Every structure is written in structure tokens, then in C-alpha cells.
Amino acid sequence: MTGIGTSPPRPDGFAKASGAAVYADDLVRPGMWFGATVRSPHAHARLDGVRFAAERAPEGAVCLTAADLPGPNGILLIDDEWPILAAGTVRHVGEPVALVAAPSRLGALQAAAAVEAEYTPLPAVLTLEEAAAQATAQPTTQTTAHATPPATARPLLAECSLACGDVEAALAAATAVVEGTWSTGHQEHIYIECNAATAWVEDDGTVVVHGSMQCPYYVHKALVHALGAAPERVRVQASVVGGGFGGKEDFPSVIGVHAALLARAAGRPVRLAYDRHEDIVGTTKRHPAVVRHRTAVAADGTLLALDIDVTFDGGAYRTLSPVVLSRAVLHAFGPYRCPNVRIHGRVLATHTAPNSAFRGFGAPQTQFAMERQMDAVARRLGLDPLEVRRRNVVRPGDRLPTGQVLGESTAAEACLERAAARTGFQERWRALEREREGRADDSADGAPRRGIGLSLYFHGAGFTGSGERRMQSPVGARLLADGRVEVLTATTDMGQGCVAVFPQIAAAAGSLADDDVTFAPPDTARVPDSGPTVASRTTMIVGGTIARAVAGLSRRVVDWWQGEHGAGWQLADGTLRHPGGDAVPFRQAAREFLAAGGEGALEVRHRPPDWQEFDDATHQGSAYPVYAWGCDVVEVEVDPDTWAVRPTAVTAVCEVGRALHPTLCAGQIEGGTLQAVGWALTEEVKLDGGRYLNDRLATYIIPTARDAPRVSVELLEQPYEGGPFGAKGIGELPMDGGAPAVCQAVENATGIAVTAIPATPERLFAWAEGDRRREEVA
């Protein structure tokens, strides 16, 4: 059984697990050379010159600098201010200043070592605090990569605001005003497969890039811009993708352009594959954030006003920061009702690697802050974490601060109540509060300190605001000569499992058998631009469009068949049946349809719901057509000697509309939750003078199988009429909930107010010492 709601094995699973799948670094082209990237050792410097000492490089090796670029020196995303290669100025450690290619990997490294770059170091802005100080001291200046950039940093990369009601009046009138400042750090994606791409030039001049990516048409757009090539002379093929998490949303445009430039210069295929050190130093990360809250509350815990200031560290270039900030602001108020809300968000530049897309896209940072703020409100008012959320949780019909009125598929309360009931949260939390309060300060017993925490969260599915309306992204479907339906999308499977879910949708929507449907590989020469594989849009938006396309095509065949053979035929599971007893395989009918001159190709565009309107300037309206909802309960043990936090169990109750493939759907929740737990506890990018101290997996610490708590997932269903078979997008949802729940649990266990993550043992120790000293003084 492979229908909707069942969990057939993913079709790529065997090839992946047995080593047969071809990833970007596995593709061998005849005569292929290897590339390498020469990177800045400085956080901020004038680039005085780059010289290639060819005599020290392998014979024939090529070297490219900004001076050799055929077109504009910019990676085209929202804009093109991210340079392909540094020109005049370097703005972060690891910024590419030159590219080389040579016949072997070793030769490429030797060629890179033969590049001599001269720099004059300049003062650097390395932290959000320094950037904030500079932002207030200087007016906004913006530059493009083409002009000679000024030596100063450009402080403001993006800004946006959202407001409703009268915040000042509510703050003035409130029983209590609770203030909090919550910080989150960088996070590295650590997809297990590092970024890689291979490029070559076909005889007709077409530039082909084959690589690990989420968005083939982003790479295509960047190549057309950078090479000055005609769109039809650029072809992008996604390989099997070894993990993305947003890290392969925009960065493949960089490595793809680099590989293409080298292939042109070398006159042969060139593979550019990063090692882990280079991938950490040179690619994007999650934005570090500082979020300040002032919350007005009534005595019973009802939220009266939220005043929120969001500051993100954008790194050296704008990349996708404006849209990340937008999503961050649109989730900063959490799944709660509040009549008076004011949110101001900024992304500031620093001389560090650009920060950009990472699962959650800004929402995890602002929801971490909101959830911790709710905990602070609860403590102030003597409520427990469940109660304060119960009093404010949004329900169908409620209005968000954007003015959006929530529809039927609003299930925050169901998630909250189900998670609380499953875990006995309230009793357990109170019991552990009493246990902590009754405990002598000394840790002589050595017993772990136990704690439990809860978080409530939501995540908008699809592009923010008018994004989907602007794109109206198309999906193609066509009949093959053998009568099967081929579906054409640019969606890539980075592990999430659209290779399994799309066929389920297609077969069910078209009333076809599983093997009546096949999918074209994501190759821009074959598939339309169905949009990027991002923003929790794959199942809901692209999947929904696939459903309409396949249904439309199969209806076309059925209609024709009935025209030829009379009415009354029903198509089910790939067979046309007549009540009289006749049965004809769909494929046969389709072949006859084609032979009779029937039009076997169809393109269908995504149609956002008519009611969804959004003003991108004021952030008013329906930012997303629908949200997925979740509630996490996390239990932890804190070692009283070492302050090490061990999460022991997580219960995640998530409302997903409809679980089309429960195993893969739960897999997103399980994996995303552990990624959030890692972000909360151990994952930290450590910089010194802009230089990476932990650009290795030995020192950037993600959870192992021994660190992973049991993750128990319950999927709730409240079907959404705008998604295929009721499904919503859920890929990013789990990233929002893990961290605040972990921190509340640590607070429950230790009494330490966790205001920043990662909550490393070193930080917990420092906070505990601070608390102890304050008590001694008092």
C-alpha cells in the first residue's frame, strides 16, 4: 500500500544506503580537473594585489581573480552585492579572492599555494554589539560590489517593522511589565555532504553545472548574470543532495559560478568540492540574534502588549537577510493573542562570513525569545509554563498582529493540551520545582538535577507575504510514449523525502497506479522553475500543484476516452473501468490518446488562495496562507559537577494538516528537533578576531547517537483545504520548539535563568557563579 497516509520505503533509499547514489563529489567527467579557492586570512582588509606564481604551480594550472570576471562581480540573489571574488576589499575571513584549477586535487592545492595576495588590514566589526554601536553612530550607507567600497562597514543590511494597537498606552496601564533580553548564536548546518559542484562547457557553448543544491533555478539565475550568458546556454543539474537545511539554498550559486568560471578558463570539466574546514569557514550560517522584549501583562497572565526589538548579525553581505528578517519578525509574537504589538527588526553587518538561510529562516531565533519571555512572564506572575500559554494561545478566528484572521486549521491549543496530557507536564514541572527549592545548594549527593520544559510554536508554510503570488510557480506533467505520466519540477530531495511523497500525491490525485507516474530529474533543461526547495513549501505548494497537474492530465485522457467509448468510465488505481465490466489500463488509454493527436503536455501554476493578501511594506495581511503548529516537552538531567545538560526525552506534538507519509513526516520532526537541541546546548561558532577557532567537526559539536534523547512524535491532523489532501508544510517547524523547551527544563532543574544559547556547561557555570556571588553580596 502506498496511498496517502501510508509510509512506503523511499525510492532512493536503497541506492543511498548501499553506496550507489551519485552525489556531487562522486560524478566523474572525462578529463576533469579540480578546483580550489584562495581565501582571505583577514576579517577586513584592503586587497592590494593578487599574483599567481605559475612557476610554483602544476603546469597548465589556471588562476582567476576578480579582474578576470566576464560579467558583473556579484552573485545574483535578491540583489548582487555578494562578490563572486573579492575586489579591492575583503570583508570576512575565508572570503574568496582567487580560484585555481589543476589536473588533480593535490595539484589544485599546490596551485592555490602559489597564489600570493597582499593585504592591508583594516579595523573590523566582529560582533553584533560592535555593529549595533556603529549602527547608532553612523548613517546607513550602501554600496555595491562594483564600486570601490569604503573601508567602513555598512552597518544596516535590512530593516523591517510591524505594529498594531497602542503599545505605549498598554505598557503604561499594565499590572506588570516584564523585560527580557534573549540571545542566540551562530549555527552551522553541518549537512554531512559538504558543498560541491562540477561544471563543464558543452560543444555548443552551453555551460552545465552539476552540484549539490536546493534551488537549481537560483544557480541558473546567478550563472546567467555572472557569465553574461543567454538563459538557454546555461544548464543546472541537481545531484543527489547530502543534506541542505538551508545551507544549500543560496551558497550553491557561489560554488556553481566558481566552478563554471574555472571550467571555462581551463577548457575542461572542473570539480570544486569543499572539505569540512572550508565549508565551515566559507559558507553561510544561521544569524546570531539579540531579541529584546517588553511585555505588558494583566494579573491573570493575559498578554496586553508586546514591544519587541530584533537584531540579527548578517555577516559581511546581505544574501537573503531581508527575507530572513521578515520571517523572523512575522513569528516574533509566537502563537499567542495580543492586541498591541510593536516589532522592529534590523540586520547589521559584521566582518564575518555571511549569514543566511537555515531551517526556520529567522523564526527559531525570535520564537526562542518569545517562549523564554513567556516563561519570564509566568515566573513573575506565579503561573506555571502551561497555564500562561493556555491563557494566550491563538484559536481559530483569532487575529494575529498582522491582521490575519486564523482559519480552521489552527491547532496550537490542541498541540499544547495533547503534549501536556501525554507528559503529565504540569504535575511534573511543579514536582521538580519543589524538588529544586527543597534541595540544599551543595551537590554532594551527585544526583543529576532533573527538569522539564515546554514550548509552543508555529511556522508559516510557503514563501513569506506575496512571494508565492509573485512566483505562481509552474509544475509540468506530460504523457510519455508508453502512456506513463512524467511530472516535471525543480524541487530537489535533500533528504526530506519528496521523492516518496510526490509520487504518492501524483498517483492519488490522478487516480493512477504507483508505476504510472515518473519524475524528471531536477535539471533546468528539462523542468520548469517550480521554485526553490525552501520555506516549508515543497509538499504544500509544489505538491499541491503536482496534484492539480496530474489530475488535469489524467482527466484529459479520461474525457477523451469517454468521448470515444461512451460515458460511465471510472478511473481508479490506474485502470479505467466500465460498469459493464470492461477494464483498460490508463497507460493504454493514454497511448491511444496520444496516437489520436491528443495534447499530452500540461503546465499548471500554483494559485495562492484568493483571500491571501499581504502588504510587504507594512507587514499587514496574511503573511502565510496557513501555519503548522507544535508543542515540545523536553526532559533534561543536569550534572551537578560539570553542568553538562543531558536531554533524556522529547515529546513533540505537531499539527501538520495531513501526514501524507507519516514516517517521513515524523522524520522531519525527529531530525529537526535534535538540530534544535544541538543549537540549544552545544553548537557554537567560536571566533577570534574574525578567525574560526572551531572549523572542524572535532570542535563544532553536534549531537551523536549517544547524545540524542528519545524523540516521541505525535502528528495531529486538522486538514488544510489549500494543501494536497490537507497537508501543510512542516520541514522547518521542529526547529522552532526545541531550544526554548530545553532552556526552560534547565531552569526547572537548576533555577538558572537561561537567557542565551548555546547553554554550554561553561555558560551555566558562569551564570551559577554569578547568582551565587549575588546571593553572597545580598
Partner 1 sequence: MTAAPGGTAADAPRTLADACRRLGDDPNLVPVAGGTDLMVSDRLERSAVAGVLDLTRIPELTGVREVAGGLEIGAATPFAVLRSHPAVCRRFPALAAAAAVVGGWQIQSRATLGGNLVNASPAGDSLPVLLALEAVVVAAGPAGEREIPCAAFHVGYRKTALVPGELVARIRLPDPSPGSRQLFRKVGTREAQAISKVVVAAVGRVGGEGREGGVVESLRLAAGSVAATPVRLRAAEAAAVGKPWSPETARTRLAEEVGRAARGEVTPIDDVRSTAVYRAATLERVVRRLILDLGSPE
Partner 2 sequence: MNVRFVVNGEEREAEGAPLERLLDVLREQLALTGTKEGCGEGECGACTVLLDGEPALSCLVPLAQCAGRDVRTVEGVAALPAGRRIVERLVAAGGVQCGACTPGIVVTAFALFERDPAPTRQALADALAGNLCRCTGYEGIFRALTDDAEQPTVSPARPGAPAVGEAE
Contacts with partner 1 by CB under 8 A lie at 105-106, 109-110, 113, 275, 443-444, 446, 640-644, 646, 682, 686, 693-694, 698-699, 701, 703-707, 761-762, 765-766, 769
Do residues 554 and 485 touch, judged by C-beta distance below 8 A?
A: yes
Q: Please identify which residue in 89, 536, 575, 718 interacts with partner 2, judged by CB under 8 A.
A: 718
Q: Please identify which residue in 543, 544, 608, 671 interacts with partner 2, judged by CB under 8 A.
A: 671
Asked if 655 is part of the footprint of partner 2 (rule: CB under 8 A), the reply reads yes
340: nearest Cα among 369, 309, 308, 370: 308
Alpha-carbon span 254 to 196, nearest angstrom: 10
The nearest distance, CB 243 to partner 2, in angstroms, is 4
Cα angle 717, 720, 721 (rounded to 5 degrees) comes to: 140
* 765 binding partner (options partner 2, partner 1, none; Cβ < 5 to 8 Å by kind): partner 1
* Helix residue ranges, H only, 395-534: 412-423, 425-437, 467-471, 498-510
Asked if 177 is part of the footprint of partner 2 (rule: CB under 8 A), the reply reads no
* Residue whose entry in the numeric block shows the C-alpha cell 546555461: 234
Q: Which stretch, 57-65, 322-330, 620-628, 706-714, contacts partner 2 (CB under 8 A)?
A: 706-714
> In the structure grid, which three cell numbers stand for residue 401, read together?
498582529
* Residue whose entry in the numeric block shows the C-alpha cell 548582487: 80
* 593 binding partner (options partner 2, partner 1, none; Cβ < 5 to 8 Å by kind): none
* 662 binding partner (options partner 2, partner 1, none; Cβ < 5 to 8 Å by kind): partner 2
Q: Which stretch, 57-65, 84-92, 292-300, 654-662, contacts partner 2 (CB under 8 A)?
A: 654-662
* Residue whose entry in the numeric block shows the C-alpha cell 553581505: 317
Work out the burial of residue 70: count CB atoms within 10 Å of its CB; fewer than 13 is exposed, 13-18 middle, 19 or more buried. exposed
The nearest distance, CB 511 to partner 2, in angstroms, is 18
Q: Which residues of 461-498 are buried (b: 16+ CB within 10 A; e: fewer)?
A: bbbbbbbbeebebbbbbbbeeebbbbbbbbbbbbbbbb
Closest CB to partner 1 among 397 and 770?
770
Closest CB to partner 1 among 276 and 565?
276
The nearest distance, CB 103 to partner 1, in angstroms, is 14
Do residues 69 and 262 touch, judged by C-beta distance below 8 A?
A: no
* 19 binding partner (options partner 2, partner 1, none; Cβ < 5 to 8 Å by kind): partner 2
Q: How many CA atoms lie within 13 A of 223 on its CB side?
A: 35
The nearest distance, CB 769 to partner 1, in angstroms, is 8
Interacting residues of 17 by C-beta distance below 8 A, sequence separation 6+:
none
Count of chain residues binding partner 2 (CB under 8 A): 78
Residues 443-482 close enough to bind partner 2 by CB under 8 A? none
Asked if 138 is part of the footprint of partner 2 (rule: CB under 8 A), the reply reads no
Asked if 390 is part of the footprint of partner 2 (rule: CB under 8 A), the reply reads no
245: nearest Cα among 679, 714, 681: 679
Residue 139's CB is within 10 A of a number of other CB atoms, namely: 7
* Residue whose entry in the numeric block shows the C-alpha cell 523542468: 527
Residue 9's CB is within 10 A of a number of other CB atoms, namely: 10
* 110 binding partner (options partner 2, partner 1, none; Cβ < 5 to 8 Å by kind): partner 1
Q: Please identify which residue in 49, 148, 442, 704 interacts with partner 2, judged by CB under 8 A.
A: 704
Asked if 13 is part of the footprint of partner 2 (rule: CB under 8 A), the reply reads yes
* 644 binding partner (options partner 1, partner 2, none; Cβ < 5 to 8 Å by kind): partner 1
The nearest distance, CB 510 to partner 1, in angstroms, is 47
* 192 binding partner (options partner 2, partner 1, none; Cβ < 5 to 8 Å by kind): partner 2
* 18 binding partner (options partner 1, partner 2, none; Cβ < 5 to 8 Å by kind): partner 2
The nearest distance, CB 339 to partner 2, in angstroms, is 26
Residue 13 DSSP label: H
* 335 binding partner (options partner 2, partner 1, none; Cβ < 5 to 8 Å by kind): none
The nearest distance, CB 695 to partner 2, in angstroms, is 11
The nearest distance, CB 313 to partner 1, in angstroms, is 20
Q: Please identify which residue in 43, 45, 304, 411 interacts with partner 2, judged by CB under 8 A.
A: 411
Alpha-carbon span 218 to 252, nearest angstrom: 8
Q: Are strands 570-572 and 575-577 parallel, antiparallel or unpaired?
A: antiparallel
Q: Are strands 627-638 and 620-621 parallel, antiparallel or unpaired?
A: unpaired
Q: Please identify which residue in 470, 696, 772, 773 interacts with partner 2, judged by CB under 8 A.
A: 696
Asked if 534 is part of the footprint of partner 2 (rule: CB under 8 A), the reply reads no
* 693 binding partner (options partner 1, partner 2, none; Cβ < 5 to 8 Å by kind): partner 1
* 682 binding partner (options partner 1, partner 2, none; Cβ < 5 to 8 Å by kind): partner 1
372: nearest Cα among 100, 703, 750, 742: 742
Q: Are strands 614-615 and 570-572 parallel, antiparallel or unpaired?
A: unpaired
Cα angle 559, 586, 5 (rounded to 5 degrees) comes to: 100
* Helix residue ranges, H only, 114-250: 128-137, 167-173, 216-227
Q: Which stretch, 25-33, 152-160, 451-459, 474-482, contacts partner 2 (CB under 8 A)?
A: 25-33
The nearest distance, CB 426 to partner 2, in angstroms, is 19
User: What kind and span of H or E run contains 562?
Assistant: helix 543-565
CA dihedral 466, 241, 77, 115 (to 10 degrees): 170
Residue 403 DSSP label: B
Residues 272-301 close enough to bind partner 2 by CB under 8 A? 275-277
The nearest distance, CB 84 to partner 2, in angstroms, is 26
* 757 binding partner (options partner 2, partner 1, none; Cβ < 5 to 8 Å by kind): none
Asked if 644 is part of the footprint of partner 2 (rule: CB under 8 A), the reply reads no
Closest CB to partner 2 among 75 and 196?
196
Alpha-carbon span 699 to 686, nearest angstrom: 9
Do residues 466 and 655 touch, judged by C-beta distance below 8 A?
A: no
* 646 binding partner (options partner 2, partner 1, none; Cβ < 5 to 8 Å by kind): partner 1
534: nearest Cα among 198, 83, 217: 217
The nearest distance, CB 212 to partner 1, in angstroms, is 21
The nearest distance, CB 265 to partner 1, in angstroms, is 22
Residues forming beta bridges with residue 614, ordered by sequence position: 621
* 611 binding partner (options partner 1, partner 2, none; Cβ < 5 to 8 Å by kind): none
CA dihedral 81, 83, 87, 88 (to 10 degrees): 40
* 666 binding partner (options partner 1, partner 2, none; Cβ < 5 to 8 Å by kind): partner 2
The nearest distance, CB 272 to partner 2, in angstroms, is 15
Closest CB to partner 2 among 160 and 415?
415
Residue 552's CB is within 10 A of a number of other CB atoms, namely: 15
* 762 binding partner (options partner 2, partner 1, none; Cβ < 5 to 8 Å by kind): partner 1
The nearest distance, CB 354 to partner 2, in angstroms, is 21
* Alpha-carbon radius of gyration of the chain: 27
User: What kind and span of H or E run contains 392?
Assistant: none
The nearest distance, CB 194 to partner 1, in angstroms, is 14
Closest CB to partner 1 among 686 and 710?
686
Give me the helix-helix angle, 412-423 and 425-437, nearest 10°: 60
The nearest distance, CB 557 to partner 2, in angstroms, is 28
Closest CB to partner 2 among 148 and 704?
704
Q: Which stretch, 12-20, 142-150, 174-182, 381-389, contacts partner 2 (CB under 8 A)?
A: 12-20
Interacting residues of 764 by C-beta distance below 8 A, sequence separation 6+:
638, 643, 645, 746, 750, 752, 754
The nearest distance, CB 199 to partner 1, in angstroms, is 22
Task: Output the CA–CA distances (angstroms, integers) from residue 180 to 290, 455, 762, in the order listed.
Answer: 10, 17, 22
